[in-house]
């Protein structure tokens, strides 16, 4: 969020604006195509159900099994320069998801320049652009799987570029591509600073499904050993295959600049 941004508290000081309103059931609803929600401070989840929406320059602090921002059946959404967090770095008040494409059916989601912390998962989407974000102090409670950014499958382009993602937990990842609900195709993981997790990067080729991971590019990333000597607790990366037009190039250790070979 830009320094000096003046924030309006929702729902204490404002309960509606152009294209959005506070829903008495306990969240902020953005339901008008082309709406912009900007400059608010809230402890309530933001629920986006219209396309071409922008949420920017806001502070969203939400507790528990909830989302900072949820995108539902909405295309061309831009989430930019927001602070999104849970109130604590561990325990039940951590935030489950910072940003999530709930039904994995949105298109052209843009997640740019946000500060996301105290969440079990920073960003969960199967498509779009995740760029220039600071995702850090990832949190854990109960049976959480802790992810910086995660995708559960898909073939629409997903680019994860120029982010700093630090997961101090010994599981699961800083960046993950899983084949839970389909193949992983057309992914770019480029120019990020990454650390922590069980493996810092899961590169899309689940065991037994290597042939379904295609056109995945892991390039020019810096892996930090700030938490673990291997980058992640178990290693810097896993689930990578050289087949299918995939590439692993220019990845280095942050402290030495030494090249990191493909896992």
d(C-alpha 58, C-alpha 40), whole Å? 5
The number of beta carbons lying within 10 Å of the beta carbon of residue 19 is: 17
Residue the block writes with tokens 């689930």: 239
Q: In this structure, are residues 168 and 139 in contact, taking their beta carbons and an 8 Å threshold?
A: no
Q: In this structure, are residues 171 and 141 in contact, taking their beta carbons and an 8 Å threshold?
A: no
Tokens coding 218:
């892991």
Least Cα distance to 192 among 142, 241, 129 occurs for 129
pTM attached to this predicted model: 0.97
Give CB contacts under 8 A, 24+ apart, made by 224-227: 224/166, 224/193, 224/194, 224/195, 224/253, 224/254, 224/255, 225/195, 225/253, 225/254, 225/255, 226/166, 226/195, 226/196, 227/166, 227/167, 227/168, 227/195, 227/196
Cis amide bond preceding 11, omega within 30: yes
- H or E, element range at 200: strand 199-203
Q: In this structure, are residues 261 and 232 in contact, taking their beta carbons and an 8 Å threshold?
A: no
**In the 8-state DSSP scheme, what is residue 88?**
S
Tens of pLDDT along the chain (263 residues) come to: 777 788 999 999 999 999 999 999 999 999 999 999 999 999 999 999 999 999 999 999 999 999 999 999 999 999 999 999 999 888 899 999 999 999 999 999 999 999 999 999 999 999 999 999 999 999 999 889 999 999 999 999 999 999 999 999 999 999 999 999 999 999 999 999 999 999 999 999 988 888 899 999 999 999 999 999 999 999 999 999 999 999 999 999 999 999 999 99
Q: Give residues with Cβ within 8 angstroms of 15, minimum separation 6.
A: 21, 22
- Domain boundaries defined on the chain: 20-253
Q: In this structure, are residues 42 and 58 in contact, taking their beta carbons and an 8 Å threshold?
A: yes
Rounded to a whole number of angstroms, the distance between the first and last alpha carbons of the chain is 36
Q: In this structure, are residues 204 and 187 in contact, taking their beta carbons and an 8 Å threshold?
A: yes
d(C-alpha 220, C-alpha 247), whole Å? 11
d(C-alpha 246, C-alpha 262), whole Å? 11
């Amino acid at each position: 969020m830009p320094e000096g941004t003046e924030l309006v508290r929702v729902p204490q000081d404002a309960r509606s604006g152009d294209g959005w309103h506070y829903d008495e059931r306990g969240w902020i609803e953005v339901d008008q195509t082309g709406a912009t929600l900007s400059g608010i401070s809230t402890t309530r989840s933001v629920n986006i159900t219209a396309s071409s929406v922008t949420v920017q320059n806001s502070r969203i602090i939400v507790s528990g099994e909830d989302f900072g921002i949820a995108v539902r059946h909405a295309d061309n959404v831009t989430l930019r320069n927001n602070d999104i967090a849970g109130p604590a770095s561990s325990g039940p008040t951590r935030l489950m998801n910072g940003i999530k494409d709930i039904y994995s059916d949105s298109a052209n989601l843009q997640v740019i320049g946000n500060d996301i912390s105290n969440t079990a998962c920073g960003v969960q989407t199967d498509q779009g652009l995740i760029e220039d974000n600071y995702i850090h102090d990832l949190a854990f409670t109960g049976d959480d799987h802790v992810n910086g950014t995660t995708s559960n499958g898909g073939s629409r382009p997903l680019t994860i570029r120029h982010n700093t993602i630090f997961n101090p937990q010994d599981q699961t990842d800083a960046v993950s591509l899983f084949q839970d609900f389909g193949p992983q195709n057309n992914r770019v993981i480029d120019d990020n600073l990454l650390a922590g997790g069980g493996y810092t990067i899961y590169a899309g080729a689940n065991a037994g499904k290597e042939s379904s991971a295609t056109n995945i590019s892991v390039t020019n990333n810096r892996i930090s050993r700030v938490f673990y000597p291997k980058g992640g607790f178990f290693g810097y990366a896993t689930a990578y295959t050289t087949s299918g037009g995939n590439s692993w190039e220019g990845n280095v250790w942050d402290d030495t600049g030494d090249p990191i070979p493909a896992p």
